[in-house]
Chain A
Amino acid sequence: MNPIFTSGPSLQHRLALALLLSVALIVLDHKFNSFSSTRVYLNSLVSPLQYLANLPGEMLNASAARLASHQRLLDDNAKLTLQATLMSEQLQRMTFLQAENERLRRLLNSPVKTNTRKVVAELMAVDNNPYSHQVVINKGALNGVYEGQAVLDENGIVGQIMQVSSTNSRVLLIADVTHAIPVRVARNNVRLVVSGTGSLDELDIQHVPHSTDLQVGDMLLSSGLGKVFPEGYPVATVTTIVRDETRPFAQVKAKPIAQLDRLKYLLLLWFEETPGTTSESPEESVNP
């Protein structure tokens, strides 16, 4: 039965109120960022929905893993053993080089670099919001994740933590329009800033003078200048350079090294932890 006389304010008043509230929220949230602390609780509040939405995919993955053939497991095992052998050889050399590097740095009186704490996280969901590139991972404030933390995959830098909730958190990818990362060219240490274009396999390098020594194929490493990303991790390779003299700057495009459309396991890095505290870390953290 429809009541003839509706209770409460009229529809127009409700609309006006709701729109005013929305605009106020947008301004407060976007311009003044006043909800950054409340967001943790809000995100935790809705995270059951995210787990629910992730369930079918998880179940499919689980059943696929259960049905994996014996032969494929053997193949995988052989491949991984080979990889582990190669890696451990590199690791042996690495420890030697690290010791040598430390000694040389001492000689130069430069600060010795310490190992940072790392945690492996797994991808939970990819956002379907077409206007931004974000993913959700399964580690949150309870694991010590903080806003602005660097996120890597096995190839290179993926992005940074944008919002944290108690058990999961949201990563802004380097390909997002609103993201930029300071880098340097591995070959000659030229400093640049790489910003996202909104497309997953293209990054944009802005404000490059025509005379900059930059070549196609140059590897771009994070420079650590923004105090967000640690120094020396691969970010992108330069793909095209258009030096059109009628324009104020050269137009340079790059391709991210991390495979942003094929993320599965991600690595969280703790930037510049105070030296000597690397030993205290939960059991899932990896300390080389």
Chain B
Amino acid sequence: MIFKHYTIALSIICALVLQIMPMPGFVDLYRPDWVLLVLSYWTLALPHRVNVGLAFIVGLTLDILLGTSLGEHSFAMCLSIYVLAANYQRLRNYSVWQQAMVMGIMSAFYNLILFWLQHMLTDVYFLFTYMWPVLSSMLLWPWLFWLLRKLRRQLRIN
């Protein structure tokens, strides 16, 4: 089945589309870090296939899509994915809720790195609203985890 070979790529493309999809301003503030979450799942599940290298490429794509200077998102993405890939054996044994906590911390880490990079390059100031994705990412993780695991098991991706 041809779909099986492209599942990882397709899920990442879906995440990219969801990340840039236009939304009304109010919902926009709470947009979870789709790309980070999907990449995190694949890193925890298949660390030999998805790790820092893919994170770099996806981060670069995100840079082009969002119009930030090349390398910003890839920098943040690589660091976050590295932390997960280095600790995947421990994180796999956590319950979904504990994992959601960890993902919240990773999302905060990711958004803070992005903010710091942006702050160094231009003079943006920190607003608390920049941190709402942390909460929404945390809440989204259990559902995304369940969905992607079902997908991975049914299609026997390894």
B53 A14 Cβ-Cβ under 8 A: yes
B67 A54 Cβ-Cβ under 8 A: no
A49 B67 Cβ-Cβ under 8 A: no
B72 A26 Cβ-Cβ under 8 A: yes
State which of A17-25, A248-256, A269-277 sits at the interface with chain B.
Answer: A17-25
B56 A177 Cβ-Cβ under 8 A: no
Which of A14, A50, A126 has a CB less than 8 Å from the CB of B65?
A50
Q: Given A49-B16, A49-B20, A177-B123, A25 and B74 touching (CB < 8 A)?
A: yes
B16, B56, B117, B123 pick with most chain A CB within 10 angstroms: B56
Q: Given A14-B52, A24-B71, A163-B67, A125 and B20 touching (CB < 8 A)?
A: yes
A6, A52, A56, A128 pick with most chain B CB within 10 angstroms: A128
Closest to B59 in A: A22
A26 B25 Cβ-Cβ under 8 A: no
Q: How far is the CB of B88 from chain A (nearest CB, A)?
A: 10
A22 B13 Cβ-Cβ under 8 A: no
Size of B's binding interface in residues, CB under 8 A: 51
**Cβ of B69 < 8 Å from any Cβ of A?**
yes
A129 B68 Cβ-Cβ under 8 A: yes
For A130, what are the chain B residues with a Cβ–Cβ distance below 8 Å? Answer: 127, 129-130
A131 B118 Cβ-Cβ under 8 A: yes
State which of B79-87, B101-109, B140-148 sits at the interface with chain A.
Answer: B79-87
Residue interface bits A18-43, CB-to-B below 8 A is 1, else 0: 11011111101110000100010011
B122 A18 Cβ-Cβ under 8 A: no
Q: Given A14-B53, A198-B125, A53 and B117 touching (CB < 8 A)?
A: no
Interface of B is mostly: helix
Which of B48, B66, B68 has a CB less than 8 Å from the CB of A3?
B48
For A29, what are the chain B residues with a Cβ–Cβ distance below 8 Å? Answer: 69-71
Q: Chain A interface: which size bin?
A: 35 or more
- What's the A-B contact tally at a CB cutoff of 8 Å? 125
A42 B64 Cβ-Cβ under 8 A: yes
**Cβ of A261 < 8 Å from any Cβ of B?**
yes
Q: How far is the CB of A205 from chain B (nearest CB, A)?
A: 17
For B13, what are the chain A residues with a Cβ–Cβ distance below 8 Å? Answer: 49
Q: How far is the CB of A104 from chain B (nearest CB, A)?
A: 44
Which of A11, A42, A126, A261 has a CB less than 8 Å from the CB of B86?
A11
Residue interface bits B110-137, CB-to-A below 8 A is 1, else 0: 0000110110011111010110000000
Which of B16, B56, B68, B117 has a CB less than 8 Å from the CB of A21?
B56
A26 B117 Cβ-Cβ under 8 A: yes
For A212, what are the chain B residues with a Cβ–Cβ distance below 8 Å? Answer: none
For B10, what are the chain A residues with a Cβ–Cβ distance below 8 Å? Answer: none
A128 B69 Cβ-Cβ under 8 A: no
**Cβ of A170 < 8 Å from any Cβ of B?**
yes
The docked-state distance in angstroms from the alpha carbon of A127 to that of B53 is 26
Q: A45-B64, A53-B18, A131-B122 are in contact. List 7 more A-B contacts (CB 8 A).
A: A2-B47, A14-B53, A49-B13, A49-B65, A127-B20, A131-B68, A170-B67
Residue positions of B touching A, CB distance < 8 A:
13, 16-23, 25, 28, 31, 47-48, 51-53, 55-56, 59-61, 64-72, 74-75, 78-79, 82, 85-86, 114-115, 117-118, 121-125, 127, 129-130, 158
Q: List 15 A-B contacts (CB under 8 A).
A: A2-B47, A15-B82, A19-B78, A22-B78, A30-B121, A53-B18, A53-B20, A56-B21, A127-B20, A128-B31, A130-B127, A131-B115, A134-B67, A177-B123, A178-B122
